Chain A
């Protein structure tokens, strides 16, 4: 019940295309869903996050879509660029202080030029 399932494991997209990464969760106590971007040799960096009271959040080329009834959320990267090539992690956080951030296994995105 604590798992966050992420797919696909890897993704190759052409420059200018749309990258879509999907995540699913079971625990209804989760109420904060961030996405992190990680480059080799660096720690994960917060990209965008959403709470269950909204169905979509957009920041620049990055959009989170959230389906509370299906317990699924996804990251869309519009106009994908070679600089977006990185590993992306979805995550979920519960609503109690000190709760652990539960991560998906990650998606390695390669954007070809």
Chain B
């Protein structure tokens, strides 16, 4: 079974630009979560989607948004990029986002210059 796939693996953007990251969950998984990983703050929850609905959102500004499609694939968008948005963005999928374990992709490394 294929794991969680995130594209692209690396991105370099300039301050003020916007970026879209993509995540394909494990087949059959309906819950997709996004996390930001930085050396200083560690792993921080961004949001979780289940059946195209956002069920939970972390403490991030409105510049961070996401969506989930009917095939469970998810995208995350960051607008008006800031230097502090440089991070590894991780997507995780699970069967239901409640009683099943989270499986992470290898992330998208975003660098904002």
Q: Are A49 and B43 in contact (CB under 8 A)?
A: no
Give CA–CA (A34, B35) in the complex, Å: 16
Q: A103-B42, A103-B43 are in contact. Are A97 and B97 (CB under 8 A)?
A: yes
Contact B96 A44 (CB under 8 A): no
| Chain A contact residues: helix, strand, loop or mixed | loop
| Contact among B33, B50, B90, B96 for A100, CB-based, below 8 A | B33
Count of A-B contacts with CB under 8 A?
57
Bound Cα distance from A105 to B41, whole angstroms: 8
Q: Number of B interface residues, CB 8 Å?
A: 25
Which residue of the partner chain, among A34, A98, A106, contacts B56 with CB atoms under 8 Å?
A98
A40 to chain B, nearest CB (A): 11
**B76-106 CB contact bits vs A (8 Å, 1 = yes)?**
0000000000000010100011110111111
Contact between B104 and A45 (Cβ–Cβ < 8 Å)?
yes
Please state if A100 and B58 are interface contacts (CB–CB under 8 Å): yes
Total number of A residues with any Cβ neighbor in B under 8 Å: 23
Bound CA–CA A98/B35 (angstroms): 13
Interface of B is mostly: strand
Contact indicator per residue, chain A 26-46, by CB within 8 Å of chain B (1) or not (0): 000000101010000111111
Check B45 against A41 for contact (C-beta < 8 Å). Answer: no
Name A36's closest neighbour in chain B (CB-CB).
B104
Cβ of B15 within 8 Å of any chain A Cβ, yes or no, is: no
Known: A89-B43, A102-B45. A43 touches B96 (CB 8 A): no
Are A46's CB and B101's CB within 8 A? yes
Q: Name, among A32, A41, A43, A106, the residue most crowded by chain B CB atoms within 10 Å (CB to CB).
A: A43
Contacts of B31 on A, CB cut-off 8 Å? 98
Q: Can you give 20 contacting A-B residue pairs, CB < 8 Å?
A: A32-B99, A34-B102, A43-B106, A44-B90, A44-B104, A46-B101, A46-B103, A49-B101, A97-B55, A98-B48, A98-B56, A99-B98, A100-B33, A100-B56, A100-B58, A101-B35, A101-B92, A101-B102, A103-B42, A103-B43
- B-side residues, CB < 8 A to A, are 4, 31, 33, 35, 42-43, 45, 48, 50, 55-56, 58, 90, 92, 96-99, 101-107
